């Protein structure tokens, strides 16, 4: 499994001992407010970590560490090998918000997608109300492509998504 490093972060494979740190953010209703999952139960988190430790083909989950502490996750999913396309998403614990870690981790995974996996297109979505996530996506070079109406059914409610994508430069 691949490990990526940035100036401040280590993006590494998940380990069995990560469940408590993952649950600290995955069980936090404020952290998952815009996600299509959570808040997690302990069992949900343990299942996620187990699956992340043995990901399906084309799925690249990364635990995000800062100063030796797990602060979040980024996942890249290849959605089409034929069309060289993937999607990614990220989540950080609340204490890690506002420090630029999401952009740093997302940029590292975007570089991994283009440079190591030789993908052509990488997309991400965010809730229209999640202005912080939108800023992260734009800051790392994804361009706004559209508004997806009633795209996800989350906790009993239809939610829109904004679509962003980047295409690898030749």
CA distance 59 to 158: 26
Amino acid 94: pLDDT: 97
pLDDT above 70 coverage of the chain, percent: 100
**What does the alpha-carbon distance between residue 25 and residue 23 come to, in Å, rounded to a whole number?**
5
Domains along the chain with CATH numbers: 4-167 (3.40.630.30)
Kindly report, residue by residue over 44-69, the tens digit of the pLDDT. Answer: 999 999 999 999 999 999 999 999 99
Model confidence band, residue 114 (pLDDT cutoffs 50, 70, 90)? very high
Does residue 1 have a pLDDT over 90?
Answer: no
Q: Does residue 118 surpass a pLDDT of 80?
A: yes
Q: H helices within the chain, ranges in order?
A: 19-26, 42-53, 101-111, 131-139
pLDDT at 169: 84
**Neighbour tally for 133: CB within 10 Å:** 21
Mean pLDDT of the chain: 97
Q: Is the pLDDT of residue 170 over 80?
A: no
pLDDT at 57: 96
């Amino acid at each position: 499994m691949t490990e990526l490093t940035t100036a401040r972060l280590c993006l590494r494979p998940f380990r069995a001992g990560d469940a408590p740190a993952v649950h600290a953010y995955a069980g936090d209703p404020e952290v998952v407010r815009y996600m299509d999952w959570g808040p997690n139960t302990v069992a949900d988190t343990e299942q996620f970590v187990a699956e992340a430790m043995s990901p399906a083909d084309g799925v690249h989950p990364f635990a995000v560490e800062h100063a030796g502490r797990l602060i979040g996750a980024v996942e890249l999913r290849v959605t089409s090998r034929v069309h060289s396309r993937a999607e990614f998403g990220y989540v950080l614990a609340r204490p890690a918000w506002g420090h630029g870690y999401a952009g740093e981790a997302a940029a590292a995974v975007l570089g991994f997608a283009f440079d190591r996996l030789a993908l052509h297109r990488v997309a991400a979505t965010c809730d229209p109300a999640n202005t912080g996530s939108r800023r992260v996506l734009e800051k790392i070079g994804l361009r706004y492509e559209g508004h997806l109406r009633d795209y996800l059914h989350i906790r009993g409610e239809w939610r829109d998504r904004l679509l962003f994508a980047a295409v690898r430069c030749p």
